[in-house]
Amino acid sequence: MTEKAFDAIMAGLRDAVAFAEGDTTRGTVSTVEVPLVDVKAARTRLGLSQPAFARTFGVSVATVRNWEQHRRRPQGAARILLNIIALNPEVAVQAITDARRSGTTADPAP
């Protein structure tokens, strides 16, 4: 590693530590707000039972039930996928179907 690269890495590390300690002038925070989805409405729109929805989108039936009964809130990638399903379910299902046909997914579900 060159001295220049090392110095750049150390400067970034110092900025990160300073930011973590409260110096907000040495970093930025970017957040993306992904709205919550009415999972039951999205599932119903697709005409799927809870088990079929769970199988199709690679989650457990218990997870679907917890989302629908508001015991848990989807987070991260699941929340994004649920937004895609709610906004354009046909595209979501087609993408999964295409991935399964092409073998680009390890998921053995039909």
d(CA 106, CA 23): 44
- The answer to whether residue 104 scores a pLDDT higher than 90 is no
Q: Which of 6-10, 74-78, 100-104 has the lowest mean pLDDT?
A: 100-104
Entry pTM: 0.64
φ, ψ of residue 48 to 5 degrees: the values are -110, 145
* Whole-number Cα distances in Å, 5 to 1, 14, 15, 18: 6, 14, 15, 20
Could you tell me which residue, 21 or 29, shows the higher pLDDT? 21
> Looking at residues 61-85, what average pLDDT do you find?
95
Q: What is the Cα–Cα distance from 70 to 40, expressed in whole angstroms?
A: 10
Q: Which CATH number fits domain 39-102: 3.30.1300.30, 3.40.50.2000, 1.10.260.40, 1.20.1250.20?
A: 1.10.260.40
